[in-house]
């Protein structure tokens, strides 16, 4: 296989086979008067919305609240409105095809989910804000004084000698613990106090969205998180209660709030180039649209992880732009590191840049590193320069060997875990 075949760049003028839904809000949107559900599924014959009491089967108190036929719209979406705010209710969809087959899907546009992301959750974000969240501000740190420190949420606090409460080890909430030290020794701070001692001014978090390689019920496995399942939902294994979709949201905000209070910005590692499996919510919702394919119909695999997302498709471009700005607005994320940005088309990256520029009052910093780009509100030439060189896929940490190690670890984890979504 040639390099061109392996890393073939998308054609941004690709024909769109379906009506596009570029204006209507998608997902479960809570308003002052109720909840609006919308799913873009233009190839569906029928779509049914299901509401549940809990986020997974087998949980105490789980029950089907009801099933509701959705209305087909001219833009390819299916909608259903409730004259009630349904915060905390879990949901999924049944999509019926012309051939008679039925796919169960969680919502690709969901902002909340139950354990392991198998059901989506309706979120009224005002109910997830910690005390003082409205006063949270990005630290004013000049780019020239930016010192970036990369960490994994689990690794940050999992050492029993680190002084963290046992229930906080490996969790978002550990970032809120003050005065922690190594084995109680005052000269050896841990946690945020350690970062301040180092002079760190920005923390780059390895993926914190919902990923597929770790069972959130047991949390008995380890992974870096480069295997997305729900892009807009925080990972549950880092939460003190993965069964409650609101808890993980609140605890991410508490983590960001604590870092900001310490004068430290937050950069989020995002992986829009591939997903955990070719069997994902996007593919189930609109088959053969969201995943990039070769001329012979086989899945493209420039990522080395089994699939590439078709960022050149206008609906996935819309998703990426909305996803990035959502994390910036709702979670106050200060910057973004794009994994394997070379697999994302230039038009999409320019659209992300433009959308971030429209967020008022956000003075984000940006930085460049091999295989990545941290994107904030300023320093636009940085992003454009990096995007112009998208034909040459950059490598994480600058080493093909290290990238291959990461991908091999992901493949092993996927093999052990099955790599497919639950029916």
Helix axes 346-357, 380-388, angle to 10 degrees: 170
How much is the pLDDT for 404? 53
pLDDT digits (tens, 9 = 90+) for 67-113: 999 999 999 999 999 999 899 999 999 999 999 899 999 999 999 99
Question: Poorest-confidence range of 5-9, 37-41, 137-141?
Answer: 5-9
Q: Report the chain's mean pLDDT, rounded to a whole number.
A: 87
Per-residue pLDDT, averaged over 270-274, amounts to: 98
Which of 340-344, 399-403, 413-417 is predicted most confidently?
340-344
Q: How far apart are CA 179 and CA 164, in angstroms?
A: 9
Residues near 227 by Cβ (< 8 Å), separated by ≥ 6? 211, 212, 213, 271, 275, 276, 305, 410, 413, 414
- Give the C-alpha separation, 118 to 104, whole Å: 10
Q: How confident is the model at residue 374 (pLDDT cuts 50, 70, 90)?
A: low
Would you say the CATH fold of 138-417 matches that of 27-128?
no
Kindly state the percentage of the chain with pLDDT values over 70.
82
pLDDT at position 150 is 97
Distance CA 94, CA 404 (A): 38
pLDDT band at 365 (very low <50, low <70, confident <90, very high): very low
Mean of pLDDT values over 194-211: 97
- In 206-310, the DSSP E strands lie at 209-211, 228-234, 265-270
Give pLDDT, residue 149: 97
Q: How many CB atoms lie within 10 A of CB 17?
A: 11
What is the β-pairing status of strands 27-30 and 102-105?
unpaired
Q: What confidence category does residue 406 fall into, taking pLDDT thresholds of 50, 70 and 90?
A: low
Every domain of the chain and the residues it spans: 27-128, 138-417
The whole-angstrom separation of Cα 296 and Cα 278 is 16
For residue 12, the model assigns a pLDDT of 52
* pLDDT at site 14: 76
- Confidence class for position 13, pLDDT limits 50, 70, 90: low
Fold classification of 27-128 is: Immunoglobulin-like (2.60.40)
Per-residue tokens: 239: 């939460």
Helix residue ranges per DSSP H, 286-389: 314-330, 346-357, 380-388
- How confident is the model over 288-341, as pLDDT tens digits? 999 999 999 999 999 999 999 999 999 999 999 999 999 999 999 999 999 999
Distance, in Å, from the CA atom of 56 to the CA atom of 216, rounded to the nearest integer, reads: 12
What is the share, in percent, of the chain residues with pLDDT greater than 90?
79
User: In the CATH scheme, what is the code of domain 138-417?
Assistant: 3.20.20.80
Q: Is the pLDDT of residue 262 over 50?
A: yes
Q: What is the pLDDT of residue 218?
A: 94
Phi, psi (deg, nearest 5) at residue 34: 165, -150
The model's pTM: 0.86
192 and 175 in contact (C-beta within 8 Å)?
A: yes
Rounded Cα distance, 401 and 383, in Å: 26
Q: Range with the lowest mean pLDDT among 283-297, 307-321, 341-355, 357-371?
A: 357-371
* 3-state helix, strand and coil shares in percent for the chain, rounded to the nearest 5: 30, 20, 50
Cα(151)–Cα(167) distance, integer angstroms: 19
Instruction: Over range 267-296, report the average pLDDT.
Output: 97
pLDDT digits (tens, 9 = 90+) for 101-145: 999 999 999 999 999 999 999 999 999 999 999 999 999 998 899
């Amino acid at each position: 296989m040639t390099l061109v075949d392996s890393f073939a760049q998308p054609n941004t003028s690709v024909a769109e086979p379906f009506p596009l839904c570029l204006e209507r809000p998608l997902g479960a949107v809570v308003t002052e008067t109720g909840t609006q559900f919308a799913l873009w599924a233009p190839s569906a014959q029928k779509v049914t919305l299901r509401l549940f009491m809990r986020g997974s089967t087998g949980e105490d108190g789980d029950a089907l609240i009801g099933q509701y036929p959705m209305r087909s719209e001219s833009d390819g979406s299916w909608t259903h409105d409730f004259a009630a705010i349904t915060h905390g209710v879990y949901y999924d969809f049944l999509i019926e095809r012309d051939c008679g087959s039925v796919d169960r899907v969680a919502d690709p546009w969901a902002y909340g989910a139950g354990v392991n992301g198998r059901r989506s959750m309706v979120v009224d974000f005002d109910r997830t804000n910690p005390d003082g969240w409205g006063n949270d501000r990005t630290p004013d740190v000049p780019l020239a004084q930016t010192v970036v420190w990369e960490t994994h949420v689990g690794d940050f606090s999992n050492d029993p000698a680190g002084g963290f409460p046992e229930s906080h080890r490996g969790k978002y909430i550990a970032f809120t613990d003050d005065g922690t030290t190594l084995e109680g020794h005052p000269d050896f701070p841990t946690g945020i106090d350690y970062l301040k001692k180092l002079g760190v001014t920005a923390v780059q978090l390895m993926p914190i969205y919902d990923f597929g390689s770790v069972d959130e019920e047991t949390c008995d496995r380890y992974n870096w998180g480069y295997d997305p399942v729900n892009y807009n939902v925080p990972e549950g294994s880092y939460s003190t209660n993965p069964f409650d979709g609101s808890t993980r949201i609140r605890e991410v905000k508490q983590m960001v709030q604590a870092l900001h209070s310490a004068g430290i910005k937050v950069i989020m590692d995002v992986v829009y180039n591939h997903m955990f499996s070719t069997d994902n919510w996007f593919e189930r919702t609109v088959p053969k649209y969201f995943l990039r394919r070769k001329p012979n119909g086989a899945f493209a695999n420039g990522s080395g992880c089994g699939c590439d997302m078709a960022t050149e498709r206008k609906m996935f471009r819309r998703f990426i732009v909305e996803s990035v700005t959502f994390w910036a607005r709702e979670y106050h994320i200060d910057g973004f590191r794009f994994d394997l940005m070379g697999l994302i088309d230039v038009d999409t990256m320019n659209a992300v840049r433009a959308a971030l520029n429209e967020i008022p009052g956000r003075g984000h910093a940006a930085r460049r590193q091999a295989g990545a780009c941290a994107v904030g509100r300023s320093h636009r030439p940085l992003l454009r320069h990096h995007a112009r060189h998208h034909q040459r896929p950059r490598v994480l940490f600058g080493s093909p060997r290290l990238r291959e190690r990461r991908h091999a670890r992901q493949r092993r984890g996927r093999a052990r875990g099955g790599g497919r979504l639950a029916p």
